[in-house]
Each structure stands twice: as structure tokens, then as C-alpha cells.
Amino acid sequence: MQSSASKRSQLRRDALGWTFMLPSLLFLGCFTMLPIGKSVINSFQKINLGKKTFKWVGLTNYQKVFNDPVFHKVLQNTFLFSLVVIPLSMLLGFTVASLVKRNFKGVGFARALIYYPNIAPTIGFATVWTFLLTPDVGFISQVSKWMGIPAIDYLNNPNYAIYTIMLVYLWREVGFVMIFYTSGLQNISPEYYEAATLDGASAWTVLRKITLPLVKPTTVFVLTCTMANSFKMVDLIVTMTTKGGPNNATNVLMYHIYQTAFSYWDIGKASVMTVIMLLFMLLVSGVQFVTMDRHTHYDN
Amino acid sequence: MGKKKIHFGPILLLLVSLLWAMPLLWALTTALKPAKESMIVGFSKNITLENFKVVFSSAPFLQYGLNTVVIVAGILLVQLVTVTLGAYALACVDFRGKWLAVGLIMVQIVIPTDVLILPNYTTLRHMNLLDTRLGIMLPFFASSMGLLLLRGAYKGIPVAIADAAKIDGANVFQTLWNVYIPSTRATYVAFAICSISTHWNSFLWPMIVINSVDKRPLTVGLSLFAKASESGPMWAKICAATLVVMAPLYILFCCFQNVFVASLVRSGMK
């Protein structure tokens, strides 16, 4: 009797639990799980969206993608972009955060000025940046002429274009990193620093032995966010360049997926690249798993 | 050493802030001067609001703004329901197979919806939802981030309080409404702020889904407005349009900076 009653109440809890999870799982299923499966399946198919026909083609799409010199260029750009942008945004974000963590007059204003690129529409400000970077008449060109530096067409020069995009990207990302490090730094008890000062520790030692270990949870979080953000970056390319140009110098993976899918309508190839993007995202989680200190809890 | 640093820090910070503010200042000065003076650096003596007028008369920015509000609010409202129910199940109901539910949720943490533009596009195509605002919203109705965030907050509520409500004869929904939701208000605010600021500025996905002019959100409208007019004299208008699109969210940010920042951090770090 007792056990059948407890069984019944367990069943009731099962029903309640799954019913309450259902709305979330329904949308996750349709727009996360299903698409992941669909990308994998479509990557082995030749698809005609108009005629709604598909044909299994084995690894043909993968061969096409990996033999495409543009794809090689795209991968190179994506890695170059991430390798430059991830450490720089973290370093600059951390530095700015250590400047704004103390409360003094105007610090809120400074934070708002460094953070605004994150709430401003990227589309608008990416366009403003293209104006600023316009050769001859743009603001940056005028300033560099005034300083006696020859003006360069930064966005249309294949040697500089991707670095120019990186700078604009950093302009946005540093504020994002700053927010998290500011809070991380503010959560460190001042007593640690007082003790270190009494012991006569140098600033470098304090940074290495106190600050960095104590903000490690923040660092792990920020690292995985900046990694994922850099792999996903696409809006600056759409707005500031002509189709990832000049000559694919700024074409990155997410943009190439978009281009292959919605300009060339090659669903098979675009699915292969989506699968590669999924692997990148798994890599991000792998990094998070490895670098996370399992004894550290995220709630401060 | 310590003293010297205190003087040095704010100066460096001032330089960084000015550098960061440069595009904003430039956009502001350009938007406020006559279009033919766009190329001249600095403020103009002839300050004018003409460019803002032109923006509103030459593109339906009010309609775009309305669309953005509908999309952002629609996503948020549905998310609040799915997330509240799911978080309650995860935090307070001891059901079998919870590990599976958590596993399924983690998939979206690992694979963000943004990278699934192609398969989600073909799904919407099958559902005949291309070129609809609902189509833009659908993929974001479930939020794993929100589920985990609220689950954490619900777990912090003493079981005794919930039990007391139960003894008073409250059903699950009444307990949620009277106990759980009011005592986790800060978490809801945090989640709402994250959701709003993400979807207010979302660009690529709406651009892919929407074709009709009257369904475009602000970001897509702004991008087409900018594309249509890249010559020098148009700079002033585009700057004005950018400021118009940015204003609502930025005002929200400046008024509630502390809540805003605390919310972002809270949603990221738990």
C-alpha cells in the first residue's frame, strides 16, 4: 500500500516534471537538436530547395569543400582572426577593468563610453567605421594626413583589411570583457591586497599570486565567450566589406556559410561548413571543461 | 608606487574612453550638421535636426521600430513562460529522467542558435513561416541560459516557504506566482535585460528571414538604408539613423547602468 502510494506520487512528479519541461524541449528540439541532425544529414546530400529533391552523395560535399582554395583561405582567416582577437580582447578588457574597478568621479561615464559598442547596433556603427576609414575624406585619413602618415585604404587593401576588421571588433569586444572582469575584480576582498602590501609584495607578484588566481572563474567564462564570439563573428563582414573581400581577404567561416547558403544556394556545401562550425563550438566547450577548476563555484 | 598609480590610472582611462567614444562623437557631430558639411571634421556652427527629419521621412523607421519592439517583446514573453515552467521542474520537482532533460538543455549552451541559420531557415521554409515576424522569434522561444539561471535562483529559495504555501492549499501555479516569481525578481530582470539587448541588435537572422519592407526590424532597415546611400553627402543621414536605432537601448543602459551590468554578470556567471 505504502509503496504503491509512493509509486503513484513518483508518477505524478514524473508527469509534472516532463509537462513543465515540454515547452522548452519542444522549441529546443525543433530549432537546436533537429537542425544539428539536419546539418549532418544534409552534408551527405545534394539538395535542390526549389524542386525539393535530394540525393545521397556520400562524401562529395566534404571533398568539394576541402578542395576549395577559398575554403582554405576562409579557415586561415578564421583562425588568424580568433588567435589575434581572443588574447587581445581579454588582455585589454582586463586592463581596462582594473582601471574602472575603483569608484572615483566619472568612472561610470568611462564605463558607459567603453561599453556602448555592445548595446549600439553593430550595423550602424560598422557603417560609421567605414565612413571613418574612407580614404582621403574619412576622419582617420584626415588625421593621419595631419600627422604626416600616408593614408591607406585600410578596408580595401588585402594586406590590412582583416586587421582593420579586428580593430573594430576589439573596439566592441573589450567593453564586453571589461564588464565581467570589473565584477570579478571587485569581488576580491581588499584584505588580500592589504596583507600583500604589508609583506612588501611587488605589483607583479600581487597580480600573479593573488589577482589572477582569484579571477580564474571569470577568465574561464570570458575565454569561452570570446572564443565563441570570434568564431561566430559575421556582422562586421556583412557591413564593412564587399562579400568578404577584397579577394576573400576578410572572408571568415560564418560569413562563408551565409554566402554559400544564401547567395550560391549550395545547401550541401553550406551544411558541411555548418558541421565544421559545430565542431568549433564543441572545441569551445572542451576548452571550458578542461580549464574549469571543478572546485570553483561560479556563484560568488 | 601606489600613489603614482592612482594618478596614472584615470588619465589612461580618459584616453581609452576618448578613443572608444570617437565613433560616437563623430556620428553625433555629423548627424547634427548640414549634410553638405559631412566631410568637415568637428562641430558645425549650423546645428540642425534636418537629418533626423529626413531619416523619419525617407524610411519607415517608426514601422521598423514597432517591428523590433514586437519581436523583442514576443520573444521575451514566451521565454518567460517556458523558462519559468522548466526552471521549476528542474529545481523543485524530483522527476525521473531529469539527467536527460539537463543534457538536452546543455546542447543549446554548447551550440548557440546563431550558427544554425541554414537548417533553421529550411525548417521555417517547410513551416511556411518565412517572411514573418513569428519566424524570426520561433528559434529563440526556449532559452537554456534562462533555464539554468532561474533554476539556480529557485534552488536558493528555502523549501520550507514553498511547503508552507502548499499546506495553505496553494497549487503549483499559485506557489510559482506567489512565492517563486516574486522572490527571484532580480534574476528575471537580469534575464530580461540580456534577452532584450541580444534581440534588439540581432541582424543576420532577421535579414535572412524577412523580405517585406513592413516587417523589417530596425537593424535590417538600418542596414538597407545604409547600403542604399553610401556616398559622402549621405553620411549625415546614416549617422542620424544609427543614433535613432541606438537611442532606446542606450538610454535604458545609462539610466540603469548598475542593474544592467549586475544583470549581465549574473546571467553569465551562474
B35 and B60 together in one domain: no
Q: B81: how many CB neighbours lie within 10 A of its CB?
A: 12
Domain that holds residue B31: 2-52
Closest CA to A266 of A46, A1, A13: A46
B91 and B177 together in one domain: yes
B60 and B166 together in one domain: yes
Residue A138 one-letter amino acid: G
B10 vs A42, A104, A108: nearest CB:
A104
B10 and B131 together in one domain: no
Contact A179 B89 (CB under 8 A): no
B227 and B243 together in one domain: yes
A260 and A158 together in one domain: yes
Look at residue A298 and tell me if it is in a domain. Answer: no
Domain that holds residue A30: 2-42
A255 and A141 together in one domain: yes
Q: Residue B196 half-sphere exposure, CB side, CA atoms within 13 Å?
A: 19
pLDDT of residue B80: 97
Contact B246 A277 (CB under 8 A): no
A11 and A108 together in one domain: no
Interface size A-B, in CB pairs within 8 Å, comes to: 291
Q: Which chain A residues are closer than 8 Å to B24 by Cβ?
A: 113, 116, 120
**Rounded CA gap, B55 and A33, in Å?**
42
Total structural domains in chain B?
2
- C-alpha cell read off for B9: 590610472
A139 and A223 together in one domain: yes
Tell me the three-class secondary structure of chain A, residue by residue.
CHHHHHHHHHHHHHHHHHHHHHHHHHHHHHHHHHHHHHHHHHCCEEEECCCCEEEECCCHHHHHHHCCHHHHHHHHHHHHHHHHHHHHHHHHHHHHHHHHCCCCCCHHHHHHHHHHHHCCCHHHHHHHHHHHHCCCCCHHHHHHHHCCCCCCCCCCCCCCHHHHHHHHHHHHHHHHHHHHHHHHHHCCCHHHHHHHHHCCCCHHHHHHHHHHHHCHHHHHHHHHHHHHHHHHCCHHHHHHCCCCCCCCCCCCHHHHHHHHHHCCCCHHHHHHHHHHHHHHHHHHHHHHHHHCCCCCCCCC
How far off is chain B from A235, nearest CA to CA, in Å? 7
Contact A217 B269 (CB under 8 A): yes
Look at residue A193 and tell me if it is in a domain. Answer: yes
**Which residue has cell 523549501?**
B159
DSSP 8-state symbol, B176: I
Q: Which of B14, B95, B260 to mutate to test the interface with A (most CBs of A within 10 A)?
A: B95
How far off is chain A from B223, nearest CA to CA, in Å? 6
The residue from B15, B30, B52 where one domain ends is: B52
Look at residue A261 and tell me if it is in a domain. Answer: yes
A114 and A27 together in one domain: no
pLDDT of residue B259: 78
Biggest distance spanned by C-alpha atoms of chain B: 73
Closest CA to A257 of A29, A86, A43: A43
Q: Which of B51, B84, B118, B208 to mutate to test the interface with A (most CBs of A within 10 A)?
A: B118
A37 and A121 together in one domain: no
How many residues in chain B? 270
B158 and B197 together in one domain: yes
Please check whether residue B147 touches A, CB under 8 A.
Answer: yes
B59 and B15 together in one domain: no
Contact A258 B117 (CB under 8 A): yes
B178 and B85 together in one domain: yes
A116 and A158 together in one domain: yes
The CA distances from residue B36 to A128, A290, B239, in Å, are 17, 57, 14
Look at residue A232 and tell me if it is in a domain. Answer: yes
B24 and B67 together in one domain: no
pLDDT of residue B2: 44
A86 and A220 together in one domain: yes
Residues of chain B with pLDDT under 50: 1-5, 270
**Which residue has cell 551544411?**
A271
Closest CA to B143 of A25, A279, A278, A20: A25
Q: Which chain B residues are closer than 8 Å to A102 by Cβ?
A: 9
B106 and B227 together in one domain: yes
Look at residue A51 and tell me if it is in a domain. Answer: no
Rounded to 5 degrees, what are φ and ψ at A199?
-75, -5
Query: The pTM is what?
Result: 0.89
Please check whether residue B175 touches A, CB under 8 A.
Answer: no
Buried b (16+ CB within 10 A) or exposed e, B4-37: eeeeebbeebeebbeebbbbbebbbbbbbbebeb
CA-based nearest residue in chain B for residue A263: B208
B143 and B167 together in one domain: yes
The enclosing domain of B197 has a CATH number of 1.10.3720.10
Contact A115 B253 (CB under 8 A): yes
pLDDT of residue B268: 66
Total structural domains in chain A?
2
Look at residue A139 and tell me if it is in a domain. Answer: yes
Please check whether residue B238 touches A, CB under 8 A.
Answer: yes
> What pLDDT tens digit does each residue of chain A (300 aa) get?
557 888 888 999 999 999 999 999 999 999 999 999 999 999 999 988 777 788 888 899 999 999 999 999 999 999 999 999 999 999 999 999 998 887 777 888 888 889 888 888 888 888 889 888 888 778 888 888 888 887 778 888 888 999 999 999 999 999 999 988 988 898 888 888 888 888 888 888 888 888 999 998 889 889 988 999 999 999 999 988 888 878 899 999 999 999 999 999 999 999 999 999 999 999 988 888 888 765 544 443
A183 and A124 together in one domain: yes
B70 and B187 together in one domain: yes
ipTM field:
0.87
